[in-house]
Structure 1
């Protein structure tokens, strides 16, 4: 199989707080393998138009635009940060996960922040696909609500763990 570069932050991507389908999409995004229009064109698949499906901007859709440059994604991340109280500077997906990894936080807090980010990545990707394949627009407020519900439910599942009890103040703020 050969030598593959190891991913330092794989524990954050595969953490228990994330729902399995969110983990998978985050893993694919971390490796820049999501089938965005720029990637499809690189592998020889014809794509109609250059509009970015998610935000309708006349720019070729890429993972960098979808999760970092898109105003909808930036507004969504600001809303998530306001709700949860953590402050992470967005970068591309791999570097955002890496920056969470490098923070001097307790592990459970890192898992919660990574789960919130991973849930956001999944929901943006899902909203993009709903718009592309069904023609329906998913509002930012709906995406934010889905992120909040998912993260709170997953935190509740693990709130009795030893790791979670060490971050009780942080969890109280997130689950308010």
Structure 2
């Protein structure tokens, strides 16, 4: 048993060093610059790129395809990706945001829990693209998100406590 300790410690140190030296690759998606609108065909099928919306964690920008007055596809051209956690949050939120917009046929969508800033940027860019397309939702709903003005925290949290818990929260005592 004592012979294993140096091997385990060496492996732990090597693994920790590898994790700490990890540098995520640059995402080409967030660097993309798209035109205001790009008609795809002349049969009522057009693709429009929304404004690039700056957020605390990176840029959000979408491209929407409208066919015969219906939103048929949304592609995230850029999503917040300033930090690895931003990438994880955006990647997890994007399918939900896309599906809700396609289902509701509007940019007036609900924010994804834990991805408020990504959701707001997505919604604002989508509304911009729909405006460029001259698209109006059947019920007249419009995306109206404003980007939250929050301090940037390394943990993406917003609580004042240094333990990451909401003010007034006390964990149960066991």
- Return the TM-score normalized by structure 1: 0.31
Higher strand share: 2
Question: Which structure's CA Rg is the greater one?
Answer: 2
Higher helix share: 1
Instruction: Kindly indicate whether structure 1 or structure 2 has the higher relative contact order, using CA contacts under 8 Å at least 6 residues apart.
Output: 1
